[in-house]
Amino acid sequence: MSHAAYVLSSYAVAVATVVGLVLWVVGDGRARQRELKALEAAGIRRRSAEATGGEST
């Protein structure tokens, strides 16, 4: 394998890995948003939304 082929294939693997991770994070974020919407539609609220007067316990 020539030096250029090694370098180019290494870059290709690195780019594919980064693109895969970005797609995974975006997809997971969208899934979590859907889950939050479903929970809120079911009447389940986050505890942080219940705090009054800026105090948290």
Look at phi and psi of residue 43 and say left if phi exceeds 0, alpha if psi is from -120 to 50, else beta: left
Q: Is residue 32 a part of any domain in this protein?
A: yes
pLDDT of residue 25: 98
pLDDT of residue 47: 77
pLDDT of residue 46: 76
Overall number of domains in the chain: 1
Q: Is residue 42 a part of any domain in this protein?
A: yes
Q: Is residue 55 a part of any domain in this protein?
A: no
Q: For the segment 5-48, what is each residue's pLDDT rounded down to a tens digit?
A: 999 999 999 999 999 999 999 999 999 999 999 999 998 887 77
For the full predicted model, state whether its pTM sits above 0.85: no
Q: Is residue 56 a part of any domain in this protein?
A: no
Q: Is residue 54 a part of any domain in this protein?
A: no
Domain that holds residue 19: 3-49
Rounded distance, CA 57 to CA 47, Å? 10
